[in-house]
């Protein structure tokens, strides 16, 4: 259940900082429809609406945008919003019918002549971009990491990952269909490139 008004609880810790960097995406992909609470649990609300993912996403980001505009001093704090980090779950998306998710991928997607389709919900991308760019009082820098990251099927932790705090066993590594992590990324790796974008934005303000 999404509680769109709950930002106030955590937002008290975000005031008067130098930089605020937001992103939100992956957990929105668990279901096609999402329950959105009417009101607040603190006020005794128990009823909710079940809406499609983009509707809930837009509602939550609008609440976030209102909070930022009302509570953040643009002369004190620079605000950034990082676009969605893509997944690489279906090897057919990059024409590898014999592949298993992102396992054993060692090179980026090479074909740059056609638009990629790796399952990214571009509706959420458009919503995030439009809301951040329509904010009036507090400017938000929208960092688009999505397009370049969609090519990096090779950059995930794959079978070299952890489950419940422990590295995968050899038996688990031999079963990428169930254990390959094609959501998170290797470090050092692609997230360092994202940080370079962010760093460039920060130093360009000085």
Q: What is the structure's pLDDT at 112?
A: 76
Comparing CA positions, the residue from 77, 95, 92, 84 lying closest to residue 125 is: 84
> What DSSP line would sit under 41-64, residue for residue?
GGGT---EEEEEHHHHHHHHHHHH
Pull the structure tokens for residue 33: 């429809």
Q: What is the pLDDT of residues 63-89, one digit of tens each?
A: 999 999 999 999 999 999 999 999 999
- As to burial, measured by CB atoms within 10 angstroms (0-12 exposed, 13-18 middle, 19+ buried), residue 163 is exposed
For the chain, give every domain's residue range: 17-24+54-203
First to last CA, the chain: 41
Q: What is the pLDDT of residues 165-178, one digit of tens each?
A: 999 999 999 999 99
Pull the structure tokens for residue 99: 């592949």
Share of the chain above pLDDT 90, in %: 73
Q: Can you count the helices (H) and strands (E) in the chain? A: 7, 9
Q: Is this structure's pTM higher than 0.85? A: yes
Q: What is the pLDDT of residues 147-203, one digit of tens each?
A: 999 999 999 999 999 999 999 999 999 999 999 999 999 999 999 999 999 999 999
- Using the CB atoms, write b or e for 86-117: b if 16+ within 10 Å: bbbbebebbeeeebbbbbebeebbeeeeeebe
Of the listed ranges 102-106, 117-121, 182-186, 195-199, the one predicted with least confidence:
117-121
| Predicted confidence band of residue 102 (pLDDT cuts 50, 70, 90) | very high
Q: What is the pLDDT of residues 27-49, one digit of tens each?
A: 888 888 888 877 665 566 678 88
- Using the CB atoms, write b or e for 64-74: b if 16+ within 10 Å: bbebbeebbee
Q: What is the structure's pLDDT at 42?
A: 59
Q: DSSP state, 192? A: H
Whole-number mean pLDDT of the chain? 91
């Amino acid at each position: 259940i999404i509680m769109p008004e709950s930002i106030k609880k955590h937002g008290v810790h975000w005031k008067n900082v130098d930089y605020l960097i937001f992103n939100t995406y992956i957990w929105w992909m668990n279901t096609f429809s999402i329950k959105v609470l009417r009101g607040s649990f603190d006020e005794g609300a128990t009823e909710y609406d079940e809406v499609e993912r983009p509707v809930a996403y837009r509602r939550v980001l609008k609440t976030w945008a209102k909070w930022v505009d009302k509570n953040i001093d643009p002369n004190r704090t620079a605000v950034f919003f990082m676009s969605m980090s893509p997944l690489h779950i279906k090897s057919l998306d990059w024409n590898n019918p014999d592949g298993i998710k992102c396992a054993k991928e060692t090179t980026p997607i090479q074909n740059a002549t056609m638009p990629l389709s790796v399952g990214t919900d571009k509706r959420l991308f458009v919503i995030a971009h439009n809301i951040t760019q329509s904010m009036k009082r507090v400017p938000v820098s929208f960092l688009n990491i999505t397009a370049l990251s969609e090519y990096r099927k090779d950059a995930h932790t794959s079978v070299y990952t952890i489950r419940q705090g422990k590295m995968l066993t050899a038996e688990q590594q031999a079963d990428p269909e169930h254990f390959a992590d094609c959501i998170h990324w290797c470090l050092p790796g692609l997230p360092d490139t994202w940080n370079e974008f962010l760093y460039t934005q920060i130093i360009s303000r000085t």
